[in-house]
Amino acid sequence: MLCIQERNKMKVQFTPKQSCRKTSAFTLIELLVVIAIIALLLAIVMPGLQKAKEFAKETICRVHLKQWGVCYEMYLNDNDSVFTPGIEYSSAGEMNWDGSGSWIALLDSYYQDPEIRMCPKADRTEREGGRMPLAAWEVVEGGSFPHIWEATGSYAENWWLTSGSAKSLYGAEYTDDKKFKKAGFTGAFQVPLIGDSGFFLLRALESDTPPATDGEFIWEQAGGNELYRSCHDRHRGGVNWVFCDGSARKVDLAELWEIRWHKEWIPGEPNWNGREPWF
C-alpha cells in the first residue's frame, strides 16, 4: 500500500508541471508588424546609403584624376614643360595618326594601376553593357591609332593643351594661337587638363550646344559640339576634372562653358538653340 501511495504522490507532483508547458510563437499579426517595421527602416536608410555610395564613387573619380595630374606633371618635367603632341601626331611630333603621340600612350609609363583610367560611374564599355552617358570609351583593334588599340577609359584630355600644330587639321576655329602647348602659363587653375568624358579627347568651342537630354551622345569629330562628350550628369549634376595646377574638383554642367578651355576662351552660357534646358 505504501508503494502505491508513493507512486500516486509522484504522479500528482509531475502532472501540474507537464500541464503548464506553453509553446511560444509569433502570431500572424505580430509577424506582419515586424515586417512593416523592417520595411520602414529600409525606406529611411536606403536613400542615405545610395547617396553615400554615389559620393564615394565621385570621390574615387577625383582621386583618379589627381593621379593623372601627377602623371602629367612628371611627363612635363621630363619633356621641358611641353604637353603631349596629340592624337594626330607621333611621339616624335610628326603628323601621324598612329596614336603614339596621345596622352594615353605617352603617360602609360607613369602609372601602374590601370584602374585610374576609369571613373567608377563609367567603368564598362558599350560592348560590356555600358550605356551613355555612363559608358567607358574603347579604341577598337583594327581601326585608327594602332599604338593604343584596345585601350579603354572614362576620361579625356583637353585638346587645346596639346603641342602638335593645328594647321590644316580641322576648321578655321581650330587655330594654333588658341593652343597652350607648354606649361607655365598664368591662370592654370582655370584650365582643365583631364576629366570625365565619353571619348578620349575634347576640342571644346564656345559655340558648342548642350545635348538635348542627359545621355544623348554624338561622335562629332572636330565639327563642333564636342562638349557633348563631357556634358552629362555623371556626378550629382556635374563632372570631375583635374586642372593644370593639379587641383581636381566637380564642374557643374553649365560651368563647362565658363572654364578656360583655350587661350582665347570667352566665358558664357550654354546656347540651347530654343530647346528646353535640362540642367
Query: Is residue 213, in this structure, part of any structural domain at all?
Result: yes
Beta-carbon neighbour count of residue 150 at 10 Å? 8
Q: Is residue 67 part of a domain?
A: yes
Question: Is 188 inside any structural domain?
Answer: yes
Residue pair 155/194 in contact by the 8 Å Cβ criterion: yes
Q: How many domains does the chain have?
A: 1
In a domain, 108, yes or no: yes
Give dist(CA 276, CA 212) in Å, integer.
8
Give the CA distances from residue 144 to residues 123, 130, 139, 148, 235, in Å, rounded to whole numbers and listed in that order.
23, 22, 8, 9, 31
State which residues form the domain around 199.
29-257
The answer as to whether 11 is a domain residue is: no
Q: What is the pLDDT of residue 32?
A: 79
- Let me know if residue 235 belongs to a domain: yes
State the DSSP string of 67-101. Answer: HHHHHHHHHHHHTTTBPP--TTB-TTSSB-TTSTT
121 half-sphere exposure, CB direction, 13 A CA radius: 26
- What pLDDT does 233 receive? 93
Residue 157 has φ and ψ, to the nearest 5°, of -95, 145
pLDDT at residue number 2 = 43
Find all residues with CB under 8 Å of 127, minimum gap 6, and list them.
138
Q: How many residues does the structure list for the chain?
A: 279
Residue 7 is predicted with a pLDDT of 47
| pTM confidence score | 0.81
Instruction: Give the pLDDT confidence score for residue 265 in this predicted structure.
Output: 97
**Predicted local confidence at residue 239, as pLDDT:** 97
Q: Would you say residue 88 lies in a domain?
A: yes
The grid cell for 125 is: 564599355
Q: What is the Cα Rg of the chain in Å?
A: 31
The whole-number mean pLDDT for each consecutive block of 10 residues of the chain, a chain of 279 residues, reads 48 50 67 80 72 86 97 97 92 83 96 95 92 88 86 96 85 90 96 96 93 78 79 94 97 97 95 88
Predicted local distance difference test score (pLDDT) of residue 21:
53
Predicted local distance difference test score (pLDDT) of residue 162: 97
Domain contains 17: no
